[in-house]
Chain A
């Protein structure tokens, strides 16, 4: 067993790899934004009551969700331009936004749905009783209650997407993973390079996860009165 590790190379590689952080983080937020918007499309489509459409939408979502995002990226980057008639050539950055964005929009859509379903049925009945219009029901009553509880869940997906974004290096997006690969092959220092990437991910995602965890607890206290009550009562005698 020989561990081949050079600290000087590690420190030399660090600033080089860090240059890619802007692209990685930028792509993360771009994908996230895309997924947030596209998630609404799924919610809307799933509310169509017409059976065949509903069935089709459900299975399309299931298809996107249960197939590898890596292959979806390849499909959009390599195959889409070749599709006769509707094919368009996209840059690797655009492909990544669309590919990962659509993949995660199916998860985000479910988050929205759980938020909406989490609103008590009585709220719909009450707003009907008060003669609100459909639009008013959504904007004044339902959404203001449905959205806040989903924020921590959405935050979790932001972190998950951050960790999926390096997949985009396979179609040529130059983020931290690509730079690590470049440095590693040029200098034969693969282990140091990838360790640096791992450390960068850990340094960003771990504190974010803690932050979101705290937010979640705070939200739970605000929206779940039972939990709040137990909390303030302390030990039950």
Chain B
């Protein structure tokens, strides 16, 4: 299945045979007078790995923050698995989504943040267990078992009872990933997850993302500055510039063969 998705993406992104899991339709977003997204149209397919690159202020983080419902689009629609994210139907009319509606739709989405955002007053294990128990009403024992498994998978099986402030940045970010994965999302969002790390800790975090990507069934959207990593992991790279998609395609095409001048300038800064 993963193979077929890859093919469909590379040949024709709007392939009619496979339904996208996320659709952005003419999405605009402004902060005050500044318009950061100017009519975004973008489909993401099940299991697809998409890397968003671009200069700061180009709107790449905003794209995933809107999908996580942390930011509301100024106009346009976002469809998740066939359901409208920011709007709902009421008496035949589209009205702004209620908190309840948002909770229903965003259940399939998980996110990892630049600054980890672990809960400082909970142990590592509690960080992972809380949401499955509270949100998905999973039985405590089973949530605990799955959390431990997940933490072992990211190499932190020996830190279960530690608090976040006892961990290194790389360890914190691995906990954050385990915490998101325990919720079994269909779409995972990574917001510059290595930017806040010391250079020597970046590797361990990328290693985990690589492992998750290999498993394949989850769609992943990565906002990243790690070009080599994007080249390796992504099915598709999207270059955003000034609020629009300026270039997209297979990683090798975009990162190595494109003639887009802005993209060349942007890449030049990372290849010195």
Contact B59 A237 (CB under 8 A): yes
In the complex, the answer to whether A235 meets B32 with C-beta atoms within 8 Å is yes
Could you tell me if B56 and A237 are in contact, using CB atoms closer than 8 angstroms? yes
- On chain A, the residues within 8 Å of B36 by CB distance are 237
User: In the complex, are the beta carbons of B32 and A234 less than 8 A apart?
Assistant: yes
- What number of A-B contacts does a CB cutoff of 8 Å give? 14
Q: Cβ of A237 and Cβ of B57 under 8 Å apart?
A: yes
Interfacial chain A residues near B56, Cβ < 8 Å: 237
Size of A's binding interface in residues, CB under 8 A: 3
A102 to B73 Cα, complex, angstroms? 58
B residues 11-34 near A (Cβ < 8 Å) are 31-32, 34
Which residues 30-57 of B sit at the A interface, judged by CB distance below 8 A?
31-32, 34, 36, 56-57
Q: Report A190-217 CB contacts with B as 1/0, cut-off 8 Å.
A: 0000000000000000000000000000
Hey, which chain A residues are within 8 Å of B127, CB to CB? none
A128 to B32, CA, bound (A): 47
Kindly state the separation between the CA atoms of A234 and B59 in the bound complex, as whole angstroms: 15
Residues of B contacting A234 in the complex (Cβ-Cβ under 8 angstroms): 31-32, 34
Contacts of A235 in B (CB 8 A): 31-32, 34
Shortest beta-carbon distance from B36 to chain A in Å: 5
**Chain A: minimal CB distance from B111 (Å):** 17
Shortest Cβ distance from A234 into B: residue: B32
Interface assignment of B173: CB less than 8 Å from any CB of chain A: no
Residues of B within 8 A of A237 (CB): 31, 34, 36, 56-57, 59, 61-62
Q: How far is the CB of B26 from chain A (nearest CB, A)?
A: 20
Whole-angstrom distance between the alpha carbons of A235 and B30 in the complex?
10
Residues of A within 8 A of B32 (CB): 234-235
Q: How far is the CB of A11 from chain B (nearest CB, A)?
A: 50
Residue of A nearest to B65 (CB): A237
In whole angstroms, what is the CA distance A235 to B57 when docked?
Answer: 11
A6-30 to B contact mask, C-beta < 8 Å, 1/0: 0000000000000000000000000
Give bound CA distance, A234 to B36, whole Å.
Answer: 13
A237 CA to B63 CA, complexed, in Å: 10
Where the two chains meet, the residues of B that have a C-beta atom closer than 8 Å to any C-beta of A are 31-32, 34, 36, 56-57, 59, 61-62
| With A235-B34, A237-B31 already in contact, 12 other A-B pairs whose C-beta atoms are closer than 8 Å | A234-B31, A234-B32, A234-B34, A235-B31, A235-B32, A237-B34, A237-B36, A237-B56, A237-B57, A237-B59, A237-B61, A237-B62
Q: A residues engaging B (CB < 8 A)?
A: 234-235, 237
**Could you jot down 14 A-B contacts, CB within 8 Å?**
A234-B31, A234-B32, A234-B34, A235-B31, A235-B32, A235-B34, A237-B31, A237-B34, A237-B36, A237-B56, A237-B57, A237-B59, A237-B61, A237-B62
